[in-house]
Amino acid sequence: MTDDTRVLGLAGLQALIDYLGLRGYTVIGPTVRDGAIVNAPISSLDDLPRGIGDEQDAAHYRLRDRGDEALFGFAAGAQSAKPVLFPSDELLWRSRRTADVTVIDREVEPPPGPPYALIGVRSCDLRAILMHDQILLERTAADVHYAARRAESFVVAVACTDPAGTCFCVSMDTGPSPRGGYDLALTELYADGEHRFVVAVGTDRGAEVLAEVAATTATADDVAVAKRVITEASGRMGRALQTDGLKYLLYANVESPHWDEVASRCLACTNCTLVCPTCFCTSVEDVTDLTGVNAERHRVWDSCFSEEFSYIHGGSVRESTRSRYRQWITHKLAAWEDQFGSFGCVGCGRCITWCPAGIDITVEAAALRGTPSKTSQRS
């Protein structure tokens, strides 16, 4: 945090939300719905999960009453920011067939809905957004639809003060405090004195917006408390993942009998890829109307856990669940590093929480360290 660190009270935070709305953003934040924390449009602090906390473990998610007034006293919600910037279904183009020619008539339009302001983005999810920026914007070709949504997006990150049972952002070096890539970052302080938010400014745009609401300069004490709260949170991670030599460990264990063991539990239900903030695999769906004149192509989420994912004429390359689980974890913790220069896992723990079989990525990675790595040569 720099000398530019400010502080917002509750009124100031409401003013921030109001101002963003006034500026034309659709403000998205965490809300409680159907027993879970989900992102939805918000307009008031009352929309936030005041006094709500969460209990997370393998195949276990419960909300609980904290008995206090904390607005962000929970960890990773059911979904990350991914569905906002990278929706599960996005129209790519439309075509219209006339007598002698087919016209493709969609250039990238402004994304559906006004630009998005995301409030309460956890540091793990923030890192995932930055990864998507790299993967979807800065390689051979860019995803223009993601670009359109992302270009105008405004990010208000929030530090985790109460990590959950499946969190391991510390192991993955992605949190619990947001590291850059945000417009504004909040640390909620409610235990020591007045309920307030220490605000770090990340961009000029963030500074501009913050200037419009009543933010005061942070005192040295505010900064110290914020630091302490984050340090405490770092020490309360629910899980840990040892990352040294992880890539080589996974590459070397391509034939490990351990994969059969995981496969006996994995349902290939794709829940993990659905909730993972970094997963980016998609497929395309072509639909036509009954006349066959109008057609549309959509980009839809896909998962390497589905059998058709690797289909090439005749059959699927990865037919067994065993090979598909191996593919997912090897991509996430090994190949990703060769492809993009970092691990693909941000330690949000959602895949552990939302796996119906309770399969835990940290446990599976550790299991590989336990078994001697065997590369059996097949003739």
Residues 255-274 that bind other proteins (CB under 8 A): 255
d(CA 48, CA 33): 11
252 binds other proteins (CB under 8 A): no
68 binds other proteins (CB under 8 A): no
Least distance CB 322 / other proteins (angstroms): 8
Find the DSSP H helices in the chain. 10-22, 82-85, 123-137, 144-151, 204-211, 220-234, 246-252, 258-263, 271-275, 321-330, 336-340, 350-353, 361-370
41 binds other proteins (CB under 8 A): no
Residues of this chain, 114-133, that bind other proteins according to CB under 8 A: 127, 129-131, 133
Least distance CB 215 / other proteins (angstroms): 22
Nearer CB in complex with other proteins: 315/370: 315
253 binds other proteins (CB under 8 A): no
Least distance CB 340 / other proteins (angstroms): 10
DSSP 156-183: EEE--SS--TT--TTTTT--SS--SS-S
Nearer CB in complex with other proteins: 65/291: 291
> With CB under 8 A as the contact rule, which of the stretches 3-11, 189-197, 291-299, 352-360 interacts with other proteins?
291-299
Among 97, 195, 227, 236, binds other proteins (CB under 8 A): 97
| Position 46, amino acid | D
24 HSE (CA, 13 A, CB side): 5
Among 138, 235, 244, 372, binds other proteins (CB under 8 A): 138
274 HSE (CA, 13 A, CB side): 11
Residues of this chain, 141-170, that bind other proteins according to CB under 8 A: 141-144, 146-148, 150-153
Among 44, 224, 284, 369, binds other proteins (CB under 8 A): 284
> With CB under 8 A as the contact rule, which of the stretches 2-10, 37-45, 91-99, 193-201 interacts with other proteins?
91-99
Least distance CB 184 / other proteins (angstroms): 14
249 binds other proteins (CB under 8 A): no
What are residue 236's phi and psi, to 5 degrees? -115, 30
Integer angstrom CA distances of residue 345 from 28, 80, 179, 200, 340: 24, 13, 16, 25, 12
191 binds other proteins (CB under 8 A): no
Q: Report whether 168 contacts 205 (CB < 8 A).
A: no
State the greatest distance between any 2 C-alpha atoms of the chain, in Å, as a whole number.
73
d(CA 161, CA 231): 9
180 binds other proteins (CB under 8 A): yes
Among 34, 244, 290, 313, binds other proteins (CB under 8 A): 313
d(CA 361, CA 262): 11
Residue 46 tokens read as: 């009352």
The pairing of beta strand 196-201 with beta strand 6-9: antiparallel
Among 60, 191, 317, 356, binds other proteins (CB under 8 A): 317
> With CB under 8 A as the contact rule, which of the stretches 17-25, 52-60, 158-166, 247-255 interacts with other proteins?
247-255
Among 83, 212, 331, 367, binds other proteins (CB under 8 A): 331
Mention every residue, 6+ apart, whose C-beta is less than 8 A from residue 260: 322
Least distance CB 68 / other proteins (angstroms): 32
Residue 368 tokens read as: 């590989």
339 binds other proteins (CB under 8 A): yes
325 binds other proteins (CB under 8 A): no
Least distance CB 357 / other proteins (angstroms): 21
Tokens 């998609």 sit at which residue?
A: 282
Nearer CB in complex with other proteins: 18/133: 133
Q: Binding string, 7-26, against other proteins, x = CB under 8 A?
A: --------------------
Angle of the 123-137 helix axis to the 144-151 helix axis, nearest 10:
130
115 preceded by a cis bond (ω within 30 of 0): no
295 binds other proteins (CB under 8 A): yes
